[in-house]
Amino acid sequence: MIDSEFLDELKKLNLITRKKVSSVYLGSRSSIKQGRGMELYDHREYYTGDDFRAIDWKLYGRIEKLYIRRFEEEKDFTLHLLVDGSSSMDFSTTKMRKFDYAGSIAAGFAFIAMHRYEKFAPALYSDKVLEIMQPNKGKMQFFRMIQLMNTAKLQGVTNLGESMSQYSSYIKTKSFMIVISDFLEPIESLRKGIYRVARGSKEAMLVQVLDPGEVSLKWTDDIDFEDLETTKSEKVYLSPNFKKDYHKKFMEHIFAIREICEDTGVDFFSVSTDKQLFDAFVAILEGKMNKGGVEWEKNASAEEAV
């Protein structure tokens, strides 16, 4: 369930955002878009689906590449909120499942969009789009989103690449896209998905939600592990060397995601479910939350030293 206390705390955001929040979503979103307007602002590369009437053919004659003219107009963005609804999100060693934490973070962004009276479109995905809400504004859209998250049936195996291939058809304009997941899937499917996220949005952000238990493997001796996505189980002896190798591979996976995001210009934040939810959300807005696993890197170094 979406944290009700967190929803109450979101009411503080009006004050917080006025005083100190400077984020991708609140601070740097441009009021420039493609199309006809009063004054030419700049050009950007042509994407499939753009209005061909906006192509600058004179520029094409000089550089033989397609660019569209962008004009200064009123902001008209849609916030797309994709939350991982796969079975792996149904995990917790703290008071909140990863899915509940991720859904609450998504609700926080939706709350901001609601108060700015901007369109937002929540969706759930696994290896395909599970649920999708059409873009809309206002309180009723927000309450429908909360209901969607609270009644979600977690299912399937995560595949961002396949899900984004399907979801791309729902994106009608260049939008701001936020994907919230544990991103525990093969790096190649993540790479495909992140590239599609970057191509399909004007701005994009990935928020990784991890449980501290899966980061540190806090258990000892023989443990039966069950894969929540495939239901396969395996007994593992958690020796110090096993934990060290596991943590190294875990970190390598996070850093690989960070590198892909850096290559594509997508912001990447990583947060643990043992962090106070409202503080974590505000830290993401401020851009101060560890980008690309900085905090995990410190933990890894300390653990290896031991």
Q: 33: pLDDT confidence band, cut at 50, 70 and 90?
A: very low
Q: 14: pLDDT confidence band, cut at 50, 70 and 90?
A: low
The residue-averaged pLDDT of 181-186 equals 94
User: What's the pLDDT at 4?
Assistant: 81
Q: Average pLDDT, whole number, for the chain?
A: 79
Q: What does residue 205 show for φ and ψ, rounded to 5 degrees?
A: -145, 140
The sign one gets for the Cα dihedral 17, 31, 7, 295 is negative
**Tokens 């690309």 correspond to what residue?**
292
User: At 166, which helix (H) or strand (E)?
Assistant: helix 160-167
The residue-averaged pLDDT of 164-177 equals 84
Q: What does residue 29 show for φ and ψ, rounded to 5 degrees?
A: -70, 130
Q: 21: pLDDT confidence band, cut at 50, 70 and 90?
A: very low
pLDDT at residue 6 greater than cutoff 90: no
Of the ranges 118-132, 164-178, 245-259, which one carries the lowest mean pLDDT score? Answer: 164-178
User: What's the pLDDT at 238?
Assistant: 67
pTM, two decimals, is 0.75
Predicted confidence (pLDDT) per residue in 206-229, tens digit = 999 999 888 877 655 556 555 555
What is the spatial distance between Cα 106 and Cα 280, in angstroms, rounded to a whole number?
12
- Domain residues of the chain, as ranges? 4-28+75-305, 32-72
Distances from the Cα of 239 to the Cαs of 91, 213, 251, 304, in angstroms? Answer: 23, 16, 18, 14
The residue-averaged pLDDT of 173-202 equals 91
Q: Which CATH number fits domain 4-28+75-305: 3.40.50.720, 3.40.50.410, 2.40.160.10, 3.40.50.300?
A: 3.40.50.410
Best-predicted range by mean pLDDT (22-26, 57-61, 293-297): 57-61
